[in-house]
Amino acid sequence: MPQSVQYLKFGEFFSGPGGLALGAILAESKNGERVLKIKHAWSNDYDPSSCETYKKNICKNEKNPQVICRDVRDLDIDTLSSIDIFAYGFPCNDFSVVGEQKGFNGKFGPLYSYGINVLNKFKPRVFVAENVGGIASANDGRVFIKILDDLARAGNGYKITAHLYKAEDYGVSQTRHRYIIVGIDQSIGVEFKVPKPTHKGNYVPVKVVLSNIPENAFNNEHAKVASQVVERLKHTKPGENAWTANLPAHLKLNVKTARMSQIYKRLHPDLPSYTITGSGGGGTHGYHYAEPRPLTNRERARIQSFPDDFEFVGSKEKVRKQIGMAVPPMLSNVVFKAILDTLNNVEYPYVEANYQIVPKTNLLLFEYEQNCRSKNHISETQRLGERGRDYCEEGRVGARI
């Protein structure tokens, strides 16, 4: 009998260049004659270059791709088509340990709620949300508790699995650690399990992924480098940075504030790369282990597990940012393959999630703190505080006074 292929429709917010999406559309699950795959329905991002990259690579076979380039706050979700899977890597600026961790009090923190709106309207079978590891500690951890609670109560209600994934455990040559939250509609009656790492303790060294890159590969232009930077890198051994290298006085950085370990850090050929970022500050571009120079964008893309035929659109700086902000497609594919297997009743090796979702304490009080701060009525928080704590101690998550 011929195989019966069912395509699940995929919608995405904050899509970037398409790291999550690439892993999704390459995933498939087979159970006898039944095959599950994923196809793009629509996506949204505010950055024009990212949208063009997404169209070129994720929607290359579509005549009129629904890639909507605008601020999500100006997007009318009533114009979108129904979907089976929703994904979003909501902006991490206010949750990253590199930043100030403003959480909900920052400009980007509340943007996760636009994904909640999609879940409530379309009630997809599955959602995937991705964010930095620092989200679990923002606002003393209460931000993450609040987000998980909102996600669980959206749509028809979702059974949630949250896990801090280490990309290097799944074959990505990079120490990139991200929370990925998977929710499955509770009416389906199945639970997502975290796929077992495939490379734990047997990591892919960066020299493997940076070998044999064709000179004419997409996005492989070398950047112009100041002579002083070249000289500094020549004095820096693989694995060292601007603070640990034995530098002559004239090459040392005069920095009195926090000293980030990635500043002018050269890769070590026998280890996975450190985290590739989209930041534009001096000394943060990633530096080759064998040559005294920054990495090319294709080298960064290789480290992020993008295939060589994935062409990024935009200036070198815009492409560098796209690559640094993306989810590694290899990690995305592992997660989406496990999602399809879960829906298709196919067993796979798994491990216990490392974030345990338990009755949350202080969630109710936290909601009132946020509301009262926005209204400058902190005394109201104090008045309701004891009663809020009573509700939380009883485990009545999401209860209302």
Task: Name residues whose C-beta falls within 8 Å of residue 204's C-beta, 6 or more positions apart in sequence.
Answer: 168, 171, 172, 173, 272
Tokens representing 323 are: 């690559």
Cα distance between residue 83 and residue 275, in whole Å:
32
What tokens appear for 372 in the block?
């009262």
Q: How far is CA 338 from CA 194, 195, 348, 354, in A?
A: 8, 6, 7, 17
Whole-angstrom Cα distance, residue 12 to residue 35? 22
Quickly list DSSP for 125-179.
SEEEEEEEGGGGTGGGGHHHHHHHHHHHHSTT-EEEEEEEEEGGGGT-SB--EEE
Q: Is 59 a catalytic residue?
A: no
Query: 135 φ, ψ to 5°?
Result: -65, -30
| Catalytic, out of 51, 59, 92, 392 | 92
C-alpha distance across the termini of the chain, in Å = 58
Asked if residues 194 and 128 have their Cβ atoms less than 8 Å apart, the reply is no
Helix 113-122 to helix 142-153 angle (10° resolution) is: 10
Annotated active-site positions, please? 92
